[in-house]
Each structure stands twice: as structure tokens, then as C-alpha cells.
A and B are shown apart, each in its own frame.
Chain A
């Protein structure tokens, strides 16, 4: 089973809202990632968790707050977002930080 699941599929939120994106994998992978993808652009790395610890933060604004409650779950908490944050948010996991990653279907986020 090479499945990464993400909820919700679509999210519309106002600039004053607080929401969370969720990601889950049951492949026993120990690295999990958040990417942001704008239209016609490649995925852009935001955060990496390795063995449930934050190992890479690509200078992401603090209005994005990641959380890894356990080895299977990854959350992205959103607060006071801007319209330019509208994008496809992708979660991925991999066996470790060297091997290939499997992407979830993504959450299409629109900030109004």
C-alpha cells in the first residue's frame, strides 16, 4: 500500500480563520514532508519531519505551523493566511530522507 491520504481535498478560508490540513500514511515511512505548489510551478518544499522531529524548515512564514503527532500523521496549522498563500498543498512521505517520496492527492487551498 503506497498511499498517502490528505484531508480536506478543498478548503476555502478567510484571512482571519484558523484551519488545519491533515496527512496520514501507513507505510512505516519515517520522513514526512509538506510542499506548496502554485499553478505551472514545481512543488516547493516547506517542512520536513524525520523520525517525528522537524528537520527542515525552508524559512516558511510563521502563519504556517507544522505538527507531527506520531509517525503516521502530519498536520499543517494555518492562521492569518494571505491570498497569495492560495495553492495546492501536498504531503509526501518516504522511507528516509534519501529515498523517493510518495505524494498524497493534495489539498486545494483558497484564501479569500
Chain B
């Protein structure tokens, strides 16, 4: 089992729809969870961080964390073609304080 798992996609959604990106992790002591967006040929850009159970909203983005289910998700409302990118889930592995990345989900927003 991979430490951080994501569906590689591509996830294709029409413009204006809600894109739902999911991530599961294996280490129960993980404390910090992050979503990065990476455009092709560019470096990852932090878009959301979440540390406690529940939802965290920032503009069109909502991160959801369920530690009991070891599950973190990212919702993108009113998806735009400019949101087309790879979304990387990253989990801080509590025991070693290392940031472990999932393989990323490629999101394609169709105009």
C-alpha cells in the first residue's frame, strides 16, 4: 500500500462544474495535509493546507479532512479551464516530519 494514494486521472469536468479530488493516506499519526497545484513544466504551488477534521474553505477551493477514514479531499467549485493542472496531495508523516506526496491527479476542465 502506498503511503499517499491518489487516482492519477485524468479527471475531466465541464467548465463551471465542481471538481472533486480525493486522497487517502496510510500513516495514522499524520498531522498536516496539503494540496498543491502543478502546471506542466512548473513547480508545485501550495493552494490549501488543513490540519484538523472538517472542512476548510478558501475562495473556490474547499479541503475536507477525515482522520478516522484517513481521507482528504479537495473540491473546486465553478471549475475554470485555468484550473487544468496536476493536483498533488501531500501528507506530513508525523513520525519523521517528512512531507510525502501522492502521485497526483490530472484535472482537465473542458470549456
CA distance A105 to B34 in the complex (A): 19
Within 8 Å by CB of A97, from B45, B49, B97, B101, lies B97
Q: Which residues of A contact B96 (CB under 8 A)?
A: 56
Is chain A's interface secondary structure helix, strand, loop, or mixed overall?
A: loop
**Contacts A48-B98, A99-B32 hold; do A42 and B46 have CB atoms under 8 A apart?**
no
CB-based nearest B residue for A88: B43
Q: Does A66 contact B (CB under 8 A)?
A: no
Summarize B's interface: helix, strand, loop or mixed. strand
List, in ascending order, chain A residues with CB within 8 A of B104's CB: 42
Docked Cα-Cα span, A36 to B110, in Å, equals 31
- Distance in Å from the Cβ of A15 to the closest Cβ of chain B? 25
Q: Mark B78-94, 1 if CB is under 8 A from A, else 0.
A: 00000000001000100
A side interface size, CB within 8 A:
19
Interface range on chain B: under 10, 10 to 19, 20 to 34, or 35 or more? Answer: 20 to 34
Q: Is the CB of B32 within 8 A of A42?
A: no
Q: Which residue of A lies closest to B42 (CB)?
A: A105
A74 to B: closest C-beta gap in Å: 15
Task: Please give me the residue from chain A that is nearest to B46 by CB atom.
Answer: A100
For the complex, give the distance between the alpha carbons of A101 and B91 in Å.
11
Does B44 touch A at the CB level, under 8 Å?
yes
Q: What chain A residues lie within 8 Å of B36 (beta carbons)?
A: 103
Min CB distance A3 to B, Å, is: 12
Contact A42 B88 (CB under 8 A): yes
Q: Give A73 to B10 CA distance when docked, in angstroms.
A: 37
- A-facing mask of B9-40, CB < 8 A → 1, else 0? 00000000000000000000001101010000
Q: Residues on B close to A: CB < 8 A?
A: 31-32, 34, 36, 42-46, 49, 88, 92, 96-99, 101-104
